[in-house]
Each structure stands twice: as C-alpha cells, then as structure tokens.
C-alpha cells in the first residue's frame, strides 16, 4: 500500500514539475533526413552559425574569438560524402578558411567527420524558418549548434534554441556577435 502511494506521489510530482518547466522530451527532437544513404539537397548550400549551447563553457570556448562563420555544404566527390567549407571571421577582423569532410553512416542518422573518429554529428529540425540544429559529440564534449540560412534570424529562433538546449542540460550559451561582414567564402 505504501509503495502505491509513493509511486502516485512521484507521478504527481513529475507532472507538476513538467508543467512548471515546460521542457520538451528528447523524443521531440526530430532528426533530419540522414538515412545513411544521402543527405537531402535541402541541407546543401550556405549556412550561418548563429549560436551554441553546451553543458559547460569549455565546450564552446573554440567559438569565443569568433565574430561570425559562414558555411557551404556540398555533395562530396564520393558516395555518402559531404564537403563542408567555412570562412570564420574572427573578432580581430581576420578571416580563417576551414574545410571538413563528413561521411554519412549507413544505417544511422549521424555524420562522421574525416580525421576525427571520436566525433559524431546529428542534424535536427528547427522550428525556426531556414534553421537547422546540430548536436556534436566527441571525446569529452557535447554541444548543440544553431545554423540558419540568414545571418540574422528572428530573435524568437534564438530564444527557442536557448530554451530547448537548457532543457537538455546545456548551461552555457554563446551567441555569435555578427558585428562584422562575413568573410567571402572561397570556391577552393
């Protein structure tokens, strides 16, 4: 009898707590179209890095000196491969080019980064128009990253991202300043 009362009280406590915090369940994150065969064309093209969230500031430290980043995602030269090019505008005004190769993983919804076997990237839908959210995990870190087709998405998009990631135990938040013009994205 005592056990049944205890279970009922815990259940009620959970309902009350859930109604107070209004956090979505993990299952409400919808993975995007990576089926281990190909990435839909809707994910290709130009993206702007908007914000990041992680359990600690350390996982976002790599973005501290960054003003803005523009990316281009293109189909790779080999099957199940994606090429990602970026130009990073540092706060000091310098432009830093970067390249990565992602491999689609057959039978999974995540991408692997060439040269970084510990890193796993999952793509999720965003309620923000033109937005996408990534979850990067690696050796000792996890971070969520918000990208958009526009360098200046509506503030509501950033607020929703911050709210969602705080529900997923991300206590650190970083918003790129985007005070400077993006660097030109090279074709190489």
**CATH number for the domain including 107?**
2.40.128.20
Asked whether residue 93 carries a pLDDT value surpassing 90, the answer given is yes
- Average model confidence (pLDDT) across the chain: 83
Q: How many domains does the chain have?
A: 1
Residue 67 — very low, low, confident or very high, per pLDDT cuts 50/70/90?
very high
Give the contacts of 181 (CB within 8 A, at least 6 positions apart): 89
Task: Give pLDDT tens digits for 121-150.
Answer: 888 888 888 999 999 998 888 999 999 999
Percentage of the chain lying above the pLDDT 90 cut:
48
For residue 31, being part of any structural domain is answered with no
**Which backbone phi and psi does 101 adopt, to 5 degrees?**
-120, 125
For residue 37, being part of any structural domain is answered with no
Q: What residues make up the domain containing 68?
A: 43-175
């Amino acid at each position: 009898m005592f056990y049944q009362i205890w279970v009922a009280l815990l259940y009620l406590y959970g309902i009350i707590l859930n109604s107070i915090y209004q956090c979505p369940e993990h299952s409400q994150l919808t993975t995007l179209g990576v089926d281990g065969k190909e990435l839909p064309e809707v994910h290709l093209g130009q993206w702007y890095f908007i914000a990041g969230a992680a359990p600690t500031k350390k996982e976002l430290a790599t973005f501290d000196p960054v003003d803005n980043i523009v990316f281009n995602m293109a189909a790779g030269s080999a099957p199940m491969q994606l090429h990602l090019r970026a130009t990073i505008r540092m706060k000091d005004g310098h432009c830093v080019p970067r390249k990565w190769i992602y491999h689609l993983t057959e039978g999974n919804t995540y991408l692997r980064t060439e040269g970084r076997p510990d890193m796993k990237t999952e793509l999720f839908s965003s309620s923000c128009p033109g937005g996408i959210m990534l979850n990067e995990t690696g050796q000792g870190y996890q971070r969520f990253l918000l990208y958009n087709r526009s360098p200046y998405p509506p503030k509501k998009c950033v607020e929703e991202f911050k709210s969602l990631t705080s529900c997923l135990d991300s206590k650190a938040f970083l918003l790129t300043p985007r005070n400077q013009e993006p660097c030109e994205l090279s074709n190489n």
